[in-house]
Structure 1
């Protein structure tokens, strides 16, 4: 697979990022974005002003995207936060792992000391397994913190990796 990653341009790539994240946002099963928030709500969640976004494509076909941003301002800004979303066409092709590797490389390049995922839905086992294989540790479990549309209240995890 000849996957390419390019940084998204705010404004010019809004519709493409929304195309990628829309099914996941609207499912309500993985992100804390309002499933009924439309493009404005989805982009506000996935691409706030503090974030940079990259798009993964193969032969012009969008397969996923990820964001990278400081996890907190000020004295917490040495730790970054990232989020990922793949399309159905990306499943089983290693796209998520490639985006994870790229985000870790970019985080190191930007001088971050660690990466933290603040709210990983515990039912998202495929993503959790990828992150654990990459060295992320679960540092906390938030009981019943996420309202899953099918499973009811499920736990959310806080995951962390020093860079």
Structure 2
């Protein structure tokens, strides 16, 4: 996979990947503000199965904020993500807190290049794919990279944190 060179207009996510020397492909698409699900919109617009497109969700735990990354056609299992970061319980973080902490807007929160490094858990289903897509740091931009590189750049771990159905 070719690495996209930084030629202005990058996001903190692309800058972080470029700095780390990680190969990725920027996958822009036309974002519809009326879309009911940003993640499913990205999957459809990019012609990628939803199981390969991952959403980034912030949770508030008794140990502080953490990040859960799950396929867009699933929900985050709050008990599982809490256990994965060594917490007793987790709730979804307030959207304003998520934006302030990550430096990104809701619907465009990337797990890469956040303002503050947070404990990060990637659903283990990601490892069954050669590449996955995550938000590139703004609505209408996804980044495609290997799950191993995503784990490396976020210093994340994997776990069964997605709930289907």
TM, length-normalised to structure 1: 0.29
TM, length-normalised to structure 2: 0.29
Counting strand residues as a fraction of each chain, which structure ranks higher? Answer: 1
